Amino acid sequence: MKKNSVLIAPSLLSADFGRLKDEIEKIEEAGADILHIDVMDGHFVPNITFGPIMVSAVKKYSSRPLDVHLMLTNPENFIKTFAEAGADMISIHIEATNHAQRQLDEIKRYNIKAGIALNPQTPLHHIKYVISYVDFILIMTVNPGFGGQKLLSPIIKKIKDCKELCERDNPDCQIEVDGGIDLTNVAEIYKMGAEIIVSGNAIFKENDYAAVIEKMRSLCMKIF
């Protein structure tokens, strides 16, 4: 039975960029454990978002760990830049590199957590031989590129399968889940094995961020 507390990682992709400093302060006061930053290049995914300058700006005002999700072609060219910008966690996509283990080792050389991310259609066996190198696995429950998408429910079983794989090969590995998570499905996601919950629209579309985060925690804790 799972006993760990759930960690809530609001995705800044859904924040109001025009008042980002205020949004950071408000979301941290509301109880965010981690701030999730989606970096998109317009090649690996069909959108362009944050760069290292934005990560540096967030770092200036944030007291929470910064979780930088690199949705980039050739992520090896950007690890150093984002690490130096202030990332505390960096995840790369298994689909974007032929040398994942090498890139994970490079991330760890900066004394930050290294993660591997999987798109919805990517089978778990693609990361079988790098499990022992990662601190966390990011399972996408939507096709990455845009916020506000609906969770792909068939992927929920993948979370459970990933948890079983981690328990066997790397018990210290955390499972992070991102994509369409809201109050209707967060408990099931947690029950399947997620420890870090990334949520954007479900939090930032509400006026009371603290109420949403508190409700997410409460729903997760009630299932055990």
> How far apart (Å, rounded) are the C-alpha atoms in residues 220 and 187?
4
* Unique residue bearing structure tokens 């984002």: 82
118: nearest Cα among 99, 98, 144: 144
169 classed as catalytic: no
List 33, 67, 88, 178, catalytic entry: 178
151: nearest Cα among 191, 198, 196: 198
38 classed as catalytic: yes
List 33, 38, 67, 135, catalytic entry: 38
* Unique residue bearing structure tokens 């029950």: 191
> How far apart (Å, rounded) are the C-alpha atoms in residues 85 and 223?
38
The DSSP secondary structure of 27-70, one letter per residue, reads HHHTT-S-EEEEEEBSSSSS-B---HHHHHHHHHH--SPEEEEE
Q: Which residues are catalytic?
A: 38, 178
